[in-house]
Amino acid sequence: MKEVEDLWASALGRNLLNYSPNGTVVINLVYGKDQKRTENEQALSSRINILKKQVEMSKKEYQRLLKSFQKKKNELQTTISHYEELAKDYNKKIARWKTGSDIPKGKKQDIEKMKQQIAYLQSQIKKKHKNSESLRKRVNSKSKHLNTIIDLQNQMIAKYNNTFSDPQKFDQGRYIKDGNKERINIYQFSNRAELKTVLAHEAGHAMGLGHVDNPKSIMNAMMDKQDIFHLSLTREDIEAIRKRCQ
């Protein structure tokens, strides 16, 4: 309220409000459904932000696993190609040997060496296939997990938009005059800047101001376009208070 006092004083260069524990306009902070709604909004927003971080982390892990799987898959395919080429050559030489065709000297040693190479490649194929299959399952599992939390995030965002995305009227507070008694009831605010904006708006009503058309004005009926973190009076706000003070 001290800041609100200074804000309105800047309009005419004179004190328009005086905040005091014994002031004639009582300010009440009322906890009800509106403030509860704000707490629900903040809680849901916090859950969405947590899920967003989880999605980002899961995407990175998924990409890492997928890249590793593709690498292992390529290594497996290279080994299989090498095996098939060697096996083809081996079978060709065996066929020539059985038909009595010309076989180089030391063919038994060459063939034995080829058999050993083929056996080694078979074991490597088996090993690489096992590793590749293990990574494939991990990639699929991570993909399912990622899709699940993305769906959950989308559901929460849709719920948030359906529940909280409409522009707010200045129903967060209300100036009430009942005979000689005056009061400002504050029903809802999500942060200090919003509280200050609501107080400035209702203080304007307490000084006899009505609503103005500029959506960026403090005295506009909607709390939507004001820069609440750098709150200032617009030309329309100043004109309204000048007219009132005349």
Q: Express each pLDDT in 138-181 by its tens digit.
A: 999 999 999 999 999 999 999 999 888 766 555 789 999 998 89
Q: Residues 173-192: what's their mean pLDDT?
A: 92
Percent of the chain's residues with pLDDT above 70: 93
What pLDDT does 167 receive? 60
Contacts of 124 (CB under 8 A, 6+ apart): 79
Residue 169 DSSP label: E
What pLDDT does 98 receive? 66
110 pLDDT band, cuts 50/70/90, is confident
Averaged pLDDT of the chain? 89
Q: What is the pLDDT of residues 49-93, one digit of tens each?
A: 999 999 999 999 999 999 999 999 999 999 999 999 999 988 887
Question: How many beta carbons lie within 10 A of that of residue 63, not counting itself?
Answer: 12
Contacts of 2 (CB under 8 A, 6+ apart): 19
Separation between Cα atoms, residue 100 and residue 94, nearest integer Å = 10
Contacts of 164 (CB under 8 A, 6+ apart): 37, 41, 44
Q: Cα separations (Å) of 24 from 51, 85, 180, 208, 244?
A: 48, 97, 9, 15, 19
Beta carbons of 62 and 143 less than 8 angstroms apart: yes
Q: What is the largest CA-CA distance in the chain?
A: 124
Q: Residues 218-227: what's their mean pLDDT?
A: 91
Which has the higher per-residue pLDDT, 41 or 53?
A: 53
Global pTM reads 0.59
Q: What type of residue is 221?
A: A
